[in-house]
Homo-oligomer: A and B are copies of this chain.
Amino acid sequence: MNWLDQSIMRTRGLGKDRTGQTHSLTEALQGRYHYTIGPYSDPVLHIKPGDRVIVETRDAFESKIQTEQDLPSKVLTMPFVNPQNGPVMVEGAEKGDVLAVYIEEIAPRGPNPRGTCAMIPQFGALSGTSLTAMLAEDLPELVRKIDLDEQGVYWSKRVTFPYRPHIGTLSCSPEIDSINTLTPDSHGGNMDLPDMGPGSITYLPVQSAGGRLFIGDAHACQGDGEVCGTAVEFASTTTIQVDLIKHWNIQWPRLENESVIMSIGSARPLEDATRIAYKELILWMEAEYGYDRWDAYMMLSQCGQVRLGNFVDPKYTVGAGISKKYLAAV
- A residues adjacent to B (C-beta < 8 A): 35-36, 38, 40, 79, 117, 119, 124-128, 130-140, 142, 144, 153, 155-159, 161, 175-180, 186, 221-232, 251, 265, 267-272, 274-276, 278-280, 282, 293-295, 297-306, 308, 311, 316, 320, 326, 329-330
B155 and A276 within 8 A (CB): no
B126 and A134 within 8 A (CB): yes
A302 and B176 within 8 A (CB): no
Closest Cβ of chain B: how far from A86's Cβ, in Å? 15
Closest Cβ of chain B: how far from A107's Cβ, in Å? 19
**Closest B-chain residue to A330, C-beta based?**
B158
Closest Cβ of chain B: how far from A131's Cβ, in Å? 5
B268 and A302 within 8 A (CB): no
Closest Cβ of chain B: how far from A113's Cβ, in Å? 14
Among A126, A279, A300, chain B packs the most CB atoms within 10 A around the CB of A126
**Closest B-chain residue to A266, C-beta based?**
B131
Other-chain residue from B117, B133, B155, B225 in contact with A304 (beta carbon distance below 8 A): B225
Among A40, A230, A270, chain B packs the most CB atoms within 10 A around the CB of A270
B126 and A297 within 8 A (CB): yes
**Closest B-chain residue to A34, C-beta based?**
B176
Q: What are 30 residue pairs bridging A and B, where the CB atoms are less than 8 Å apart in the complex?
A: A35-B176, A36-B177, A117-B301, A119-B298, A126-B133, A126-B278, A127-B135, A132-B272, A133-B265, A133-B272, A133-B275, A133-B276, A133-B280, A134-B275, A135-B293, A139-B294, A144-B298, A153-B302, A156-B295, A176-B178, A223-B301, A223-B302, A227-B300, A228-B297, A232-B302, A269-B271, A270-B270, A271-B316, A306-B308, A308-B308
Chain B neighbourhood of A305, CB < 8 A: 223-224
A222 and B301 within 8 A (CB): yes
Q: How far is it, in angstroms, between the C-alpha of A176 and the C-alpha of B330 when the chains are bound? A: 47
Top 6 A-B pairs ranked by shortest CB distance?
A223-B304, A269-B269, A136-B136, A224-B306, A270-B270, A228-B301
Given the interface pairs A158-B330, A269-B270, A270-B269, the reply to whether A132 lies near B275 with Cβ below 8 Å is: yes
Chain B neighbourhood of A279, CB < 8 A: 126, 133-135
Q: How far is it, in angstroms, between the C-alpha of A1 and the C-alpha of B270 when the chains are bound? A: 41
Other-chain residue from B79, B136, B142, B158 in contact with A134 (beta carbon distance below 8 A): B136
Chain B neighbourhood of A38, CB < 8 A: 178
**Closest B-chain residue to A275, C-beta based?**
B133
Closest Cβ of chain B: how far from A94's Cβ, in Å? 16
